[in-house]
Structure formats: C-alpha cells, structure tokens
Amino acid sequence: MSKKLPQFSYVAFNNDTDTVVRDKVKASNEKAAFLQIQQLGLEPLNVKKETTSILDIEVTFFEKITPTQIYNFTRQLSVMLKAGVPLVEAMDSLHSESAGPLVNRIIDTIVEDISGGSALSKALEKHPKMFDSMYVNIVRAGESAGVLDKVLFQLADFIASDLKLRMGIKQAIRYPSIVVTITILVGIFAVTYILPRFSTLFANSNIALPLPTRILLGVDTFIQEYWYLLIFIFAALFASVTAFIRSKKGSYIWHKTKIGLGIIGPISLKMSISRFIHVLETLDRTGVPILDALKIAGRTTGNNYIEHNLNKVHQDVRMGKKLAFSLTKFTTGIFPSQTLKMIQVGESAGALGDMLSEIGEMMDAEVKDHVLKLTATLEPLISVFMGFMILTLALSIFLPIWDMYEAMSAS
C-alpha cells in the first residue's frame, strides 16, 4: 500500500496585490510545501499539514506500470521540453486519467522533489519500478550535456521499438498457444467425463476392449483416484524448478541452455543481443562513457549467461582493450561473427553509434524472421497433435461400439 502525498493548507501574503491568500498544496514535507508557496510568488505566513483518514490510503499491490505507460510519459515529456515548457510545469501537466493512479502518484513525488531542488535523474532514481538504471543514467547524461529533450526522444524511440518487437512475438505465438490449450482441455474433459459414460456399456457387453480405450480408461481411473497426488507432484515440481531458476547458479544454467534450444533458442538469443545493442547505442549517443554504457547495457539483456560474458568484456575494456576485440574474445558463439566485424569497423571509423543502429535494425529483422519461422513450424505440429488427440478419442469410443455391433450380428 502507498499513501497520497500529504496536503498542506497555508495562509500566505501576496506582495503584488497586498492580499492574503488561503489555499492548499501537496508536498512530501513541510519544507517542500514552503518552497512551492514561495515559487508561486507568495510569502508564507502559516503552513499546516492536514490530517488524512484511512480512506486516503490507496492499495497498489495489484497496480503495475506497463511499458506503454513509460513510453507515453517519456514521449510527452520530451515534446513539452522541446516546446520550451519548464520542467516542473511539463511534469505536472502529465497528470491524466489514462496514465493510471500509480503513475500519477509517482509524477506527484517527482514534481515535489524537483520543486525542492532535486535533479530530474535523482527524482527518477527513487522509483526503480518505473525507471530502471538505464533510464536514469541516460537522463543524467542528458542533463549534464544540456540536451534532455533530445535524450528523452531517443529513449522514447527505444522503448517503442522494444515494445513493438515484444508485442509482435506475443501476437505470433498467441494463436498456437490458444489452440494447444483448448485441445488439452477438451481432451481432459473427454477422458474424465464423456468416456466414463460409455464404460458401463462396455463392461456389460463382455467384449475385450481395444488398447486405446483401455489406456484412456486407465488414465481416467488414475486421475479420479490420485488427483490430489498429481496436484502435489506438479506443485512440487513447479516450485522446485522455479526455485532453481531463481537461484544464481540455476539461472545461469537455464539461460545458457535456453539460447541453445532448437526452436526458441535463436529467438531468445537474438532478442538479448538486440536489446544490448539498442541500449548501448542509446547510451553512446547520449554521451555516457563506454565503461558505464557497457555495464548498464549488459544488465538489460535479460540473460544471466550473456550478462556474465559481457561483464568479462567490461573488465577487458577497462584494462584498455578495444570493444570489438573484447567482444570477439569473450562472446564468440553468442554474437554472430558479422556483428562483431561491424562493431570493429564502426569503432575504427569513429562511427560506433551509427554502426550499432544498423546492427540493432538487423537484429530486429532477424528476430521477426525467426518468429515467422517458428509460427510456420508450429502450425503443422499443432495440426498433427490435434489430429492425434481426436483420432485417439474417436478410436477409444467407436472401436468398442463396432466390436459390440459385430458380436450382436454374429449372435
């Protein structure tokens, strides 16, 4: 749970109009409230914090910040700063119903921090769930170089590109996932509900049941008698696998294994490389030193195995080695040789940012191509799986009926 910013009622004197003003402001503390009032051109006479009731407490446990919300925030802020709107006013104007209550509360806190004299990057750093280290460091670089609006435009473009890529992958695998799930659910329903309705009829007929029928009836009996054991086994297995993957060693092993899998491996690997390249390009263009850029970009790959190797690259570059040389030394088998050669050319020509941009676009195209190939591969496999399920169910029901008909005809 989190609370709204405290509200302060105040009495102040307006020297321009020689009048007394009574109003309210929201601030993180009394000092910040005084600063706000003074920035309004007023002389505070009395500032008092208002009491809040339990009804003002807002539940945020189920609230999440989506990449779309972060993109909208970044794009809108960059547009307003480019138009010459002061930072505090630009931030304050980002309030909207579509932004969501959690984002609005974060904006309130950021406005208060900036009004209290804090830099934007410092204010953003207090909200890691919305602004990760990459975001904060890029904003800090923009502040120091005096090009905050341009930096935010580049950030928004990166977020939009990353979001578009992930949404494309989700859309590609959504249909196969739905079909497989429905097929499995229908199969479970048929085994546990439809087939048992025929079991009494088959038992009274005194005929030998065919193998498909015996298998499915055995599965039904096992589920009916040991369903609690199945739930326990699956729960224990899920908990064990989850705990293993979340451990440092398990995560390293899983991520290394995942990029080597035949179907999803290339997609996972290309996505990690693409994200690293895009982040490194954005940081390089915003003036972040190469060592800091490597450290930040390495954390954004989403793969501990790749991150581990990039940490070795970071240490090697720290010792004075060229980026392309270190990448070739520690990431061969992870980065394609063509990518490493392009980085070497860009580094030698002093155009690393442009070369990284080209590599990023190339990686994005390869990810999309792999996703299309995955979809094309899954469709016939799903058709075969559905056909097998339907054929098994049909044989398990109709073969005994056919045997019963033949037995009745013979008698």
Q: Based on the domain organization, do 248 and 307 belong to the same domain?
A: yes
Q: CA of 107: how far to CAs of 8, 47, 69, 73, 112, in Å?
A: 18, 23, 12, 10, 9
Helices (H) and strands (E) in the chain, counts: 16, 5
How is 117-134 classified by DSSP, letter by letter?
Answer: T--HHHHHHT-TTTS-HH
| 105 confidence band (pLDDT: 50, 70, 90) | confident
Is residue 103 one of the residues assigned to a domain? yes
Higher pLDDT, 32 or 309: 309
pLDDT of residue 195: 75
Q: In the predicted model, is pLDDT for residue 59 greater than 60?
A: no
Residues 6+ apart with CB under 8 A from 257: none
Please give the backbone phi and psi of residue 26, each rounded to the nearest 5 degrees, phi first: -105, 130
pLDDT of residue 4: 56
Q: Based on the domain organization, do 77 and 52 belong to the same domain?
A: no
Query: Lowest-confidence range among 38-47, 194-203, 225-234?
Result: 194-203
With beta carbons less than 8 A apart as the criterion, state whether 340 and 324 touch: yes
| 39 confidence band (pLDDT: 50, 70, 90) | confident
Rounded to whole angstroms, the Cα distance separating 363 from 345 reads 17
Q: Based on the domain organization, do 281 and 306 belong to the same domain?
A: yes
Q: In the predicted model, is pLDDT for residue 53 greater than 60?
A: no
Of 107-111, 240-244, 277-281, highest mean pLDDT: 240-244
How is 62-99 classified by DSSP, letter by letter?
Answer: T----HHHHHHHHHHHHHHHHTT--HHHHHHTT--TTT
Higher pLDDT, 406 or 56: 406
- 187: tokens are 């199969």
Q: Judge residue 403's burial from the number of C-beta atoms within 10 Å of its C-beta, 0-12 exposed, 13-18 middle, 19 or more buried.
A: middle
Mean pLDDT, range 222-248, rounded to an integer: 89
Q: Based on the domain organization, do 326 and 240 belong to the same domain?
A: yes
Q: Using the structure block, give the residue that is written with the tokens 């980002």.
A: 94
Q: Based on the domain organization, do 201 and 284 belong to the same domain?
A: yes
Q: Based on the domain organization, do 80 and 216 belong to the same domain?
A: no
Rounded to whole angstroms, the Cα distance separating 60 from 209 reads 58
Which of 11, 41, 58 lies at the terminal end of a domain, its last residue? 58
Q: Based on the domain organization, do 258 and 403 belong to the same domain?
A: yes
pLDDT of residue 56: 44
DSSP state, residue 54: G
Q: Based on the domain organization, do 77 and 54 belong to the same domain?
A: no
pLDDT of residue 355: 92
Tally of domains in the chain: 3
Q: Judge residue 386's burial from the number of C-beta atoms within 10 Å of its C-beta, 0-12 exposed, 13-18 middle, 19 or more buried.
A: middle
Q: What is the pLDDT of residues 314-345, one digit of tens each?
A: 999 999 999 999 999 998 889 998 999 999 99
**Comparing C-alpha atoms, which of 127, 97, 135 is closest to residue 111?**
127
Residues 6+ apart with CB under 8 A from 267: 169, 367, 370, 371, 374
SS3 23: strand
| 186 confidence band (pLDDT: 50, 70, 90) | confident
Is residue 151 one of the residues assigned to a domain? no
Which of 58, 78, 101 lies at the terminal end of a domain, its last residue? 58
Q: What domain range is 398 assigned to?
A: 160-411
Q: Based on the domain organization, do 81 and 200 belong to the same domain?
A: no
Q: Based on the domain organization, do 50 and 165 belong to the same domain?
A: no
Q: Based on the domain organization, do 200 and 225 belong to the same domain?
A: yes
CATH of the domain at 298: 1.20.81.30
Cα 312 to the center of its chain, rounded Å: 26
With beta carbons less than 8 A apart as the criterion, state whether 34 and 47 touch: yes
Q: Using the structure block, give the residue that is written with the tokens 């054929």.
A: 391
Share of the chain above pLDDT 70, in %: 92
* Beta pairing class for 7-14 and 19-26: antiparallel
Is residue 141 one of the residues assigned to a domain? no
Is residue 392 one of the residues assigned to a domain? yes
Q: Based on the domain organization, do 90 and 191 belong to the same domain?
A: no
- The H-assigned helical ranges of 247-303 are 248-258, 265-285, 290-298
